[in-house]
Chain A
Amino acid sequence: MTIALSQFDEVRLDRVSRDFGALNALRDVSLTIRRGEFIALLGPSGCGKSTTLNCIAGLLPVTGGAIWLDRNRVDTLRPEERGFGMVFQNYALFPHLNVRQNIGFGLKMRGRPKAEIDRKVNEALDLVRLRGQENKLPGQLSGGQQQRVAIARAIVIEPPLVLMDEPLSNLDAKLRLEMRAEIRRIHNELGATTIYVTHDQDEALSLADRIVVLRDGVVRQVGAPKELYEAPAHFDVADFMGFRNKLKGKVVAIEGDRTVLDVEGARISGVARERVSVGSTAYAAIRSDDLEVGEAGPNAIAATVDTIEYRGREFVGTAHSAGGLDFVFRSHVPVELGSRIHLRTEDERILVFAEPVQGRQ
C-alpha cells in the first residue's frame, strides 16, 4: 500500500461562523478532529452540517472564526490549496473522463509523472474494487460504482482529511448498507481521517467514532455513538436518536436521581438529563422499543390502539391517549385495534428533558 495519507495531528475548528445574509447558518462551531478519527456530522436538513463541511473544504468562506490544520491556518486558503479530498452527494464525476482519468485527475493537476499516476490509480482501483471498469465513462456505471469512483478520486490525492457529504443518500437501501461497510473498510485500511455528513442516525451510529449533532447551526452534543444513543443531552438530540414517544407533563417531585412527572394523571418517573424544577413543564422521552404493553401501575399510561403492524419477530403499534398524546410501542402479542391498553416501561428507560426553547436560539 503506497497510498499514504498526509500525516498531521489534528484539525481544529475554532468558533467557526458562517452567515447567509441575515441568517446565521453556523454559529461558533468549535471541534477538534484527531488523526484517524471517523467523525459524523448529524442533524436534520438545514442544520448546517453541509455548510460546515463546505467551510472546511473551502467551497464556502467562513465569516468568523478559524480552521487550523495543526499549526497552519487553512480557512484563508483556496480549496485547491487545502488538499482535502471530498466526496459529493451527487458524486460530481467528470462526465467526459473515464474512470481512470477521473481518479487520476487530482494527481494530473499536481503535475505528477505519468508512471506514478498510473501506479496510484491502479492501487485506488483495487482499494475500491473497480478493476476492469477503468475505461468506462461515469454514465455507464451504476450508482454504487460511481460512488466508488468518487471515493477513489478523493483518496488518491492522499489528503490529510477526507470529507463526505451524504455520500449514500442517492443509493437504494441494499446498496447503502453495502457501501456503508465499504466506506468504513477503506477508512480503516488507509488509516484515514474522515468527516462524514449525514441525516441518517443509523449511518452515523454504525460508522462514526464520534458523532457531532448539529441543530440550527449550533453544536448540540458531541460524543461516541453509544453515549449519544443512551444519554442524549437535549430533547432534540433524543428526538433524533429514536426517542419517538414524547410525553409532555408537569414535574411533581424530584426524588434523588428520579424525576416524577404528571402526564395526564399518570405518574411517570425517569432520569432527568437537563435541569428541571418542580412545577415546570417537562418531557419524558421513551424509545418505541422500550414501550411495551403491560399492567396499570407506576410508569403506565392508558391508551387506545390505532394501528398494529407485524414486523417478523414482534408487533409495532401506534396508540393515542385520552389527552391526545401519540405513542409508538412494541408488543410480542397481537393486540386488538381500538382496544384499551396500558403502555409502560422501566424508570431507567425514561429520560426527562426540560421544555425546549422554541425557534432558533
Chain B
Amino acid sequence: MDAVAHAPAVEHGPSLRQRLAARGFDAVTLLVIPAAIFSLLLFVYPFAFGFVLSFEPKAGGDWLANYRRFFSDPFLYETIAKTLWLAIPVTLVNLLLAIPIAFRVRLMRNQRLLTTLLVLPITLGTVLVAEGLLNYLGPQGWFNRTLMTFGLISQPLKLVHNYWGVFASLVITGFPFTFLLTLSYVTGIDPALEQAAATLGASAWQRFRHVYLPLLMPGLAITFCLSFVQAFSVFPSAVLLGEPAGPTRVISIAAAQAAFEEYDYSMGSAIAMIMGFVQLGIVVAVLASRGLFYRGPASGAKG
C-alpha cells in the first residue's frame, strides 16, 4: 500500500526506517525506554545530584573543601583502609571456600536442594543473620557455653562486637552468593575436557591447575568483583556485630554519620563518592587483569 504509493522514492535509496533498521533500531528498540527511565531516575539522577552536592560544602569554603577535610582527618580517611581490610579478606575467603565446594557439588545429584538451602541466608538479610550471630557467638551464646562445658576454654571468647564478628557475618551472608556464581562457572566447563586431560596422564591437581583454573579465571574475576562490592558496602553488620567506633568503623558508617548525625548532606555525598571511586578502582583493576587470561568459550569444540 505505502510501498506502492511511494514506489518512485525507491530511486533515492532505502527509506529512513530501513536505514535505521539496518543499524539495529526498530520499533522493538523502544522497549528499552522504561528501563532507561528507571535507571535515569533511580541511578543517574541521584548519582549526579550527589556528585554535584559533594562540591557544595555546607560550611562554605571552596568546592574541594569536603574532600580536603576527608583526606586530612584520620578518623575519616582511615575508614577506607578499615573497609578494605574487611572486604578483601572476606571476599578471598568466600572465593577460596566456594571453589572446592563447587567442584564437589557439580558431581552431586541433589544440586537443587543444596542451592535452595544456600539461597536462604541471602533472603534472610544481614540484620537477621547479625541478630542470630549475636546470640550464638555472644559471651552467653551456645558456642562459648559449649566450649566452656567441655573445658576447652575458661573465659568466653570475644567473638562479637569486634572485627571477627563482622567478618563472620559477611562470610555467612556473602558465601551463598559467591558459591552460586562460582558453581555456574564451574559447571559451564565441558567435563569432557577433564576426561581428556585424565587420559593424557594429568593428575587431579594437574587437571585443576592446567585445565580448570585457566578457564575459570575470567569467571572468578567477575565473582570476586561482585562479592567485593557487596562486602565493601557493609553497614548493618558493622554496626550490630562490630565496633562501629573502632576497628570496624567502615566507610558507610562515616557517610551515614555525616549525613544523618551532622546533617551535612554535602559531606555525606563526598564520602559516598569516595567510596564509589575506591570500589571502582578495585573492580577496574581486577577486570583489567582478565585480559591476561583466555576468555573464549569453555568447551572443547565449536558449536
Contact = CB atoms under 8 A, between A and B. Distances in A.
B298 A95 contact: yes
A80 B202 CA distance: 6
B110 interface: no
Contacts of A57: 195, 199
A137 interface: yes
B301 A105 contact: no
B297 A59 contact: no
Given A109-B201, A110-B201, A146 B195 contact: no
A163 B198 CA distance: 14
A146 to B, nearest CB: 6
A170 B199 CA distance: 21
A160 interface: no
Interface stretch (A23-31, A81-89, A174-182, A279-287): A81-89
B300 interface: yes
A96 B215 contact: yes
A79 interface: yes
Contact of B200 (A96, A143, A146, A157): A157
Contact of A94 (B198, B199, B211): B211
A122 interface: no
A109 B196 contact: no
B202 A92 contact: no
Contacts of A146: 301-302
Contacts of A94: 193, 196-197, 210-211, 300
B299 to A, nearest CB: 7
B103 interface: no
A88 B300 contact: yes
B190 interface: yes
A95 B297 contact: yes
A217 interface: no
A75 B192 CA distance: 20
Contacts, number: 100
A57 B294 CA distance: 29
B202 A109 contact: yes
B106 to A, nearest CB: 16
Contacts of B296: 95-96, 137, 139
A158 B206 CA distance: 20
A59 B202 CA distance: 13
Given A90-B300, A170-B301, A83 B201 contact: yes
Interface string A53-97: 000011100000000000000000011101111101011111110
Contact of B195 (A88, A106, A143, A154): A88
Contacts of B294: 95-96, 137
A138 interface: yes
Interface in B254-303: 293-294, 296-302
Nearest to A110: B201
B200 A95 contact: no
B201 A92 contact: no
Contact of B299 (A82, A85, A95): A95
A154 to B, nearest CB: 8
Interface string B207-245: 000110011000000000000000000000000000000
A348 B197 CA distance: 51
A49 interface: no
Contacts of A154: 199-200
B123 to A, nearest CB: 35
Given A80-B202, A139-B296, A139-B297, A105 B197 contact: yes
Nearest to B200: A106
Given A58-B198, A79-B195, A139-B296, A90 B301 contact: yes
Contact of B300 (A82, A110, A138, A163): A138
Nearest to B196: A92
Interface of B: 190, 192-193, 195-203, 206, 210-211, 214-215, 293-294, 296-302
12 contacts: A79-B198, A84-B199, A90-B192, A93-B196, A95-B294, A95-B297, A105-B197, A106-B202, A109-B201, A109-B202, A143-B302, A154-B200
* Nearest 9 Cβ contacts at the A-B interface: A96-B294, A106-B200, A92-B300, A92-B196, A92-B192, A79-B198, A86-B199, A90-B301, A109-B202
Given A80-B203, A92-B196, A109-B202, 14 more contacts: A59-B195, A59-B198, A92-B193, A92-B195, A93-B300, A94-B210, A94-B211, A95-B193, A95-B298, A110-B201, A138-B302, A139-B297, A154-B200, A170-B301
